[in-house]
Structure 1
Amino acid sequence: MSQKPTVLLTNPIHPDGEAILAPHANLILAPDTKADTLRVLARDVDGIIVRALLPDDICDHAPKLKGMVRHGVGLDFIPVEQATRRGVMVANLPGCNTQAVTEYFFAALFRLRRPLGDIEAVLRRDGWNAARPLADATREVAGDTLGVIGVGAIGSRIARIAREGFGMTVIGVNKGPFPEGVTEVSPDELFSRSDVIAVTCALTEETRGLVSRRLIGRMKPDAVLINTSRGPVVETQALVDALTAGAIAGAAVDVYDSQPVPADSPLFSVPRLLMTPHVAAITATSMRAMTLGSVDEMLRILRGERPQNLVNPATYAA
């Protein structure tokens, strides 16, 4: 009987998926996601299920590696070009967390616009008469203009719900085609017209720093920005300066230039900034779906089959 292949898990996966994969592969769970740790553990593995940033030279340290599967969508955690040169298949799971990120966006939007938690806290602490006036400063989203940067799967879902569910006008900037109901505009027009800005594009060399100081400077004073993309898409210091100066009404960020955010980061003292630890795509529902999807793709790779969502097809010889 041939020896089972070995799969490295950069982070824990859902137990339902682990139970499916374990009979077919020896599983190694990384104790941490430091680059040196992952390099050492990759030495004898056949596959990697990726939930954390891999070092750019991971393939140099994994001579047996057949494939890497992103437990999610974004490919910036995986050195795809190096993998392609080494003949290592890379797969991801398009659409697996679209609903989770969409729901996060609206949760963040309502937290910025109608912060019911804050009102409840005042009610409990200071009483009815102190809490009720806080509602006077809240604002509905109906009739607002939503600007979407990156109208892909997530951006399109956000746009449709905003338009059909809340009566918002939706404008967008996108590299590809535009869905029905979203009007294409320039970045300058998007930032000057929008009451709410959704940053949902992928991180590429073209989008790095796209949300620049100049564009943030065009935002309305009562506008808010929500970033569920990647930290480097937004010029962080420019956003911090705008919030600190009161030049914009608020922002929500789930992603950062470096992660995890250090405990002493000045971001924690920035006013009107909602911070979450890269959890927009994470719910119990999405975690199970992403695990099952990544396990399915990894099993295909281990069997020598083509993954359904192979992102570097040159690596597969039919």
Structure 2
Amino acid sequence: MTKIVVTDGYTLNPGDLSWKQIETLGELTVYDRTKPDELIDRCKDAAIVLTNKVPFNAAAIDQLPNLKLIGVTATGYNIIDVQAAAQKGIVVSNVPAYGTDSVAQHSFALLLELTNQVGKHAASVAAGGWVKSPDFSYQLSPLTELAGKTMGIVGWGNIGQQTARIAQAFGMKVLYYTPSKKENAFAPWASLPDLFAKSDFISLHCPLKPENTGFVNNELIGVMKPSACIINTSRGPLINEQHLADALNSNRIAGAALDVLSTEPPPADNPLLSAKNCIITPHIAWISKEARQRVMEVTVENVAAFLKGAPVNKVS
């Protein structure tokens, strides 16, 4: 029977989903978490490994001679040395497009927290602020209406386009950037400098590549409006974190709302953890039960197709 190992199953399935469909496909072992020094021992007999954030570099792949399939239980697969896997004849698959609605929704949850500060005001009321207020209403910070504002979207894939639709439903204007203009786009294209200069809110929805690592830096931040904000639900390393923290702390821009950081979990000295007007959530945009259920279902399909000799969703 084919041996299948899940290296880090807890985030995908903390107990509210089921592994039963995968269990029908082989001898399944699920680990909630796997440390780097545990990886080889746990996976040495596996033909199929399913991983979310546990990396498989060339050195690890070289020590796993039985491995035939690495199934990434996510869309992004930068944690896998795909070239090293291909050289060993190992198929790498991913789960595309499962989180479009959830991630776009979370992008707006972050945006609305920047503009309406619901959490801050609710905490104030819970602490007795309204009871003690001399007025029937009070605000702890200025609130911002979205209608008429400009949303700049970097990346025009499924999530970027869904975020754009939500923005338009709020009455916002939308600009988008990708390296090349898309045919039949329902929003105008802008160069990166123009998008950063004209937008009131900038939302990142692009994959991480060597050429765009740290592209949100002093140069682009420097052309932003002082009232503008950055939202990132894509990949943390897209942003030069020290540059963004400096801009926030000097009031160069108004705010940032981030679901991802360059290292996760972050070290205590990450400059954004203490930056002014910076909202951070712990990489949860993808984690709705509905989205995770889709990941599970597609992962089952990926494994089943591979076992039949017709792999799908290959990235290798």
Partner Cα distance (1:176, 1:48) in 2: 36
Q: Kindly indicate whether residue 311 of structure 2 is the aligned counterpart of residue 310 of structure 1.
A: no
* 1:188-234: CA deviation from partner (whole Å, max 9, x where unpaired): 11111100000110001121111121101111111110111111111
**Residue 272 (structure 1) aligned to one of 263, 271, 277:** 277
1:167 has 2:167 as partner: no
**TM-aligned CA deviation for residue 181 of structure 1:** 2.3
Distance 2:136 2:192 in 1: 39
2:8 aligned residue = 11
The one-character-per-residue Cα deviations of 1:54-93 (angstroms, maximum 9, x if unpaired) are 1312321211111112212111122111111111111112
- CA pair 47-184 structure 1, distance change in 2 beyond 3 A: same
Q: Report the CA distance shift for 1:167/1:148 in structure 2 as closer, same or farther (over 3 A).
A: same
Q: Which amino acid aligns with 2:114?
A: L
1:16–1:300 CA distance, 2 compared to 1 (3 A)? farther
Q: Does 1:285 align with 2:290?
A: yes
> Contact (CA 8 Å) 1:122, 1:130: kept in 2 or not?
no
Looking at structure 1, the residues matched to 205 and 35 of structure 2 have their Cα atoms a distance apart, in angstroms, of 27
Partner of 1:201: 206
Alignment deviations for residues 240-293 of structure 1 (CA, whole Å, 9 cap, x no partner) = 001111111110111111111124544322111111111111111111111111
1:1-24, CA deviations, whole angstroms, 9 ceiling, x for partnerless residues? xxx111121222446551111122
Q: CA offset at residue 123 of structure 1?
A: 2.7
Q: Which residue of 2 aligns with 1:80?
A: 82
Mapped to 1, the partners of 2:92 and 2:264 lie a distance apart of 23
Which consecutive unaligned segments of at least 5 residues does structure 1 have? 313-318
Aligned length: 307
Kindly indicate whether the alpha-carbon contact (under 8 Å) linking 1:17 and 1:292 is maintained by their aligned counterparts in 2.
no
Q: Quickly say closer, same or farther: Cα 1:130–1:157, change in 2 above 3 A.
A: same
- Taking the aligned partners of 1:31 and 1:136, their CA distance within structure 2 comes to 41
Instruction: Tell me how far apart the structure 2 counterparts of residues 36 and 303 of structure 1 sit (CA, whole Å).
Output: 33
Pairwise CA distance, 1:136: 7.0
Q: Give me the whole-angstrom Cα distance separating, in 1, the residues matched to 2:223 and 2:174.
A: 18
Does structure 1 retain, via aligned residues, the 8 Å contact 2:152–2:196? yes
Gaps of 5+ in 2: none
The one of 233, 240, 244 aligned to 2:245: 240
TM-score, normalised via structure 2 length: 0.91
1:137 aligns with 2:139: no
Summarize the Cα distance change of 1:131–1:24 in structure 2 as closer, same or farther, 3 Å threshold.
farther
Equivalent-residue separation in structure 1 for 2:141 and 2:256 (angstroms) = 20
Q: State the secondary structure of the residue aligned to 2:137.
A: helix
For 1:87 and 1:251, locate their aligned partners in 2 and report how far apart those are by CA, in whole Å.
43
Match of 1:126 among 116, 125, 129: 129
2:254 alignment partner, one of 249, 255, 275:
249
| Residue of structure 1 in register with 2:96 after alignment | 94
Structure 1 residues 232, 38: closer, same or farther in 2, change over 3 A?
same
Structure 1: which amino acid aligns with 2:57? D
Deviations 1:115-171 (A, max 9, x none): 1221222233222546823177100111111111111111011112212x1121111
What is the aligned partner in structure 2 of residue 55 from structure 1? Answer: 56
User: Which range moved further: 87-96 or 22-31?
Assistant: 22-31
Cα distance in 1 for partners of 2:219, 2:212 equals 15
- 2:106 alignment counterpart: 104
Give the structure with the higher percent helix: 1
Counterparts in 2 of 1:189 and 1:112: CA distance versus 1, 3 Å? same
Cα separation, partners in 2 of 1:17 and 1:310, compared to 1, 3 Å: farther
